[in-house]
Amino acid sequence: MPYIKRDEAGQIISVSLSQESDDQEFIDAENAQLAAFFEDARASADSLRESDSDLVRVLEDLIEMLTAKGIILFTELPESAQQKIMLRKRLRKDRSNSLDLLGDE
């Protein structure tokens, strides 16, 4: 049984399973506005996740550039960071090898 809080325009801004304050109202779980709220939240989370993936790739390239120029040493990075970077390099290499659609010819 969800309870919602609305903004001044009447749009849902939060949802909870219990009534936490007097300015919340009960809403039917099948309500179209509630479904739209969750769909917007899901789309926002997906966009953020995609942005995170893009940023990770930028950071990997930045670390590679800084180590190639000798500005930082790979071994200066924390051990956990080194392991994660090496794992991602292996995964990308494995993926690129498995996607060799044209072959050597």
Please report the pLDDT score of residue 20 as a whole number. Answer: 87
Tell whether 105 is covered by a domain.
no
**61-90 tens-digit pLDDT:** 999 999 999 999 999 999 999 999 999 989
Q: How many Å apart are CA 89 and CA 74, to the nearest integer?
A: 13
- In this model, does residue 100 exceed pLDDT 90? no
* Residues of the domain holding 67: 3-98
SS3 content of the chain, % helix, strand, coil (to 5): 55, 10, 30
Does any domain span residue 65?
A: yes
Sign of CA dihedral 64, 66, 71, 76: negative
Task: For 40-58, write each residue's pLDDT tens digit.
Answer: 999 999 999 999 989 999 9
| Structure tokens that stand for 94 in this block | 């494995």
Q: How many folded domains does the chain comprise?
A: 1
Strand partners, 5: 14
